[in-house]
Amino acid sequence: MKIFVSAMAFDNGKSGISNYIYNVVRELAKNAEIELAVLVSDAKYFEGIEGIKLIKYPDFFGAPGFNALWHLFVLPLQPAAGKCDFIFLPAANRRLFSWFSRPSVVTFHDLSQFHVSEKYDTLRTWYVFKFLRKFLNKADKICAISKSTENDIRKYYNIDQGKIFVNYNGFERDRLDVEYSPEKLAELKVEPPYILYLSRIEHPGKNHLNLIKAFELLDDYYSEYQLVFVGSDWSGARAVREAAERSEKKERINFLGFVEDSCLPHLYKGASVYAFPSFCEGFGIPLLEAMYCCVPCVCSKGTSLEEIGGDAVLVFDPKNPNEIAEKIEMAIKDENLSKSLIEKGKDRIEDFSWEKHADTLLEQFSSIRSGR
């Protein structure tokens, strides 16, 4: 089976979609019956994966606008796409083909623009609302990474219902299996105790501001705690940094920026609680990573985060800083509750793996081939 994969939405490894693309390509490549041709912007991120053919696309199409148009109208004409048995687009909520020369499976991560006002500028909002809606129905199968995303696709896009299937993400256990090192934290100028949030610094969607407000509401018991943000600056980051600078607890709000993967296990394992206050997520891999590292988790309710976390998380209204603060306090102060969340987390993570995700994708390719 020959599969053409477009990895043009890779973001240089600095986003959840980058995580998704890398791990799905890596997992599919383990199957000896599959030949993968992967279109990339920078081959270095994939060179460690054996058995794949890497195709470099022109640098002058790297800008988002040109990239999107080239993806829609030029890329479908690529010889590599025409010679394969299937086309796989791992970020269809960003990049789609205007037509498919071969049977296709596309992954749709989220429709957060319908939930978060001002998430995108006018041009990108128009692109998502008009272009993606028009071309998504041309795919043979649409992979939704959560039931939440599936529900949004059904609600906001006029899509043939039989095309959509839910396929949960996995997470990388192997990169988290390292012994905790306080020295690694010291290198990052982080010292326990702290509350951790991994997310690009994006406002308003990632909801850093309400987490800062919740942090300010914590009583004197938490006077030594830090609030640690891990992630690159994105749209609206200035508003988040200005809010932190205005805070009476600004000395204990720590922006680490983007950190290497090798540091993440130590950041998770040193945390007292992992907080995930985002207004909308397609999935939320850091939630599973925190559970794997035995950290109690609190997250937004009414989103995919509650779906993925199940009974292993405490949930809050992301618009209510008081409720966020309350759940953080419960997860830290109530030792029995904290231990219960950790134990439930160990059970919950068994439902998620990249191997399962890749197997489900292959089942969908096979179902297209057999006409089911």
Residue 258 in this model has a pLDDT that exceeds 90: yes
Q: Which tens digits make up the pLDDT trace of 243-256? A: 999 999 999 999 99
Cβ distance 348 to 312 under 8 Å? yes
**CATH number belonging to domain 174-351:** 3.40.50.2000
Please write the tens of the pLDDT for every residue from 93-114. 777 888 788 899 999 999 888 7
Examine the pLDDT at 131 and tell me if it is beyond 80: no
- Residues 295 and 314: their CA atoms lie apart, in Å, by 12
Stated length of the chain:
372
pLDDT, position 196: 99
CB distance 171 to 286 below 8 Å: no
Sign of dihedral through CA atoms 62, 42, 55, 33?
negative
pLDDT at res. 99? 78
Mean pLDDT estimate for the chain:
91
Spell out the CATH class of 2-170+353-370: alpha beta
pLDDT at 142 over 70: yes
Beta strands in 250-319 (DSSP E): 253-255, 273-276, 297-300, 313-316
The full set of domain ranges for the chain reads 2-170+353-370, 174-351
Q: Of 1-15, 121-135, 198-212, 343-357, where does mean pLDDT reach its minimum?
A: 121-135
Whole-structure pTM value:
0.93
Q: What are phi and psi of 196, to 5 degrees?
A: -115, 140
Q: What pLDDT shows up at residue 14? A: 66
**pLDDT over 70, % of the chain:** 96
Q: 2-170+353-370 and 174-351: same fold? A: yes
Question: What residues contact residue 107 under an 8 Å CB cut-off, 6+ apart?
Answer: 20, 24, 88, 89, 90, 91, 92, 142, 143, 145, 167
253 near 215, Cβ under 8 Å?
yes
